Amino acid sequence: MGKGRPFLEVFTCALSEDYWFPILELLVLLCALWTFFSAGLAGVSGSSSDFITVEAFTHNLIYSYTWPLIILVGIPILKNIAYGLGSDVEKGIIHTLFSYPLTRGYILTARLLSALVIPLLLFLGISIFGLFLFFPDIIVANPGTVFLTYAAQLSPVLLTAGLLLLVALRLKQGVPALLTGLTLCFVLFVIFNSIANSIAYGTGSDWSLRIYAVITPNLALQEYCLGTLGLSSQIWVPSFSEVLLYVLAGYLLVAVIFIIAYVYFKRWLRI
């Protein structure tokens, strides 16, 4: 027997654990409702005349439209990886899966396809469909900006998922991993953000913003777009090439975190 059928069985098992009825259906409904609701609020974010470049307007539009969707899909990702995987280790489900004719790497991949990839595909599918439905001219005219904005926004999501994976594997318990994951998200995206901005605007130096932009590359893209407005109070105005470097650095950090998690799962996880 090849690895295809056992892999699908592990993946199907993970799906049934991660998405009890009506979790997935409710998630799709909420994302769809926001898509139509946000179309009516498109004018709130400003018109293209408020921006010097069309790229800045496109980024602002996409960011305002998609960040609530990212929060919506982030909730099941947090639950699936931190609580779900931690509980699987705690209850011995992962130990049972080790009896399948699959390597540990395949087992973890099947688990992450359900926990992480399904919500991300849902986010990409609904949001991109909505953009083409309500703002086709803007999207078709600026595909590079659309791609870069999505890439910058998804980088911290993937980074958080990788860190949650490490937490779940290390703690081997669902509830402690979930609580730790919530704390981690608060520290990364609230406390660190406040500290970086406080240091930058308190000292007039941009080094804290540059460091934080590795974790959240969208910060560099936002500062670049704000720079097109000519704001005199802006501390850091990165160039477009710098924005690309920060996005690349963000994904390199994501890759390192997931490689560490895979190595830990394959070689050092003891159940």
pLDDT in tens, 46-102: 555 555 677 888 888 888 888 888 999 999 999 999 999 999 999 999 999 999 889
- To which H or E segment does residue 176 belong? helix 174-186
Region 164-171: what's the mean pLDDT?
Answer: 95
* Mean pLDDT, the chain, integer: 88
Q: pLDDT at position 32, please? A: 85
Which tokens in the block code for residue 31?
């994302």
Q: pLDDT at position 65, please? A: 84
Tell me the residue length of the chain. 271
Pick the more confident residue, 40 or 51: 40
The Cα 214–Cα 236 span in angstroms is 14
Domain ranges of the chain: 4-268
The Cα 162–Cα 160 span in angstroms is 5
Three-state DSSP state, 48: helix
Range list of β-strands (E), the chain: none
Q: pLDDT at position 194, please? A: 94
Lowest average pLDDT, out of 64-68, 111-115, 193-197, 251-255, goes to 64-68
Region 15-44: what's the mean pLDDT?
Answer: 80
Range list of β-strands (E), 54-186: none
Span 95-150, pLDDT tens digits: 999 998 899 999 999 999 999 999 999 999 998 988 888 888 888 888 888 999 99
Best CA proximity match to 161, nearest among 264, 262, 257: 257
Q: pLDDT at position 33, please? A: 87
Q: pLDDT at position 157, please? A: 95
Q: Indicate if the pLDDT at residue 232 is higher than 50.
A: no
Q: pLDDT at position 35, please? A: 80
Helices 54-78/174-186 angle, 10° precision: 160
Q: Indicate if the pLDDT at residue 229 is higher than 60.
A: no
Region 171-175: what's the mean pLDDT?
Answer: 93
Q: pLDDT at position 51, please? A: 54
Q: pLDDT at position 142, please? A: 87
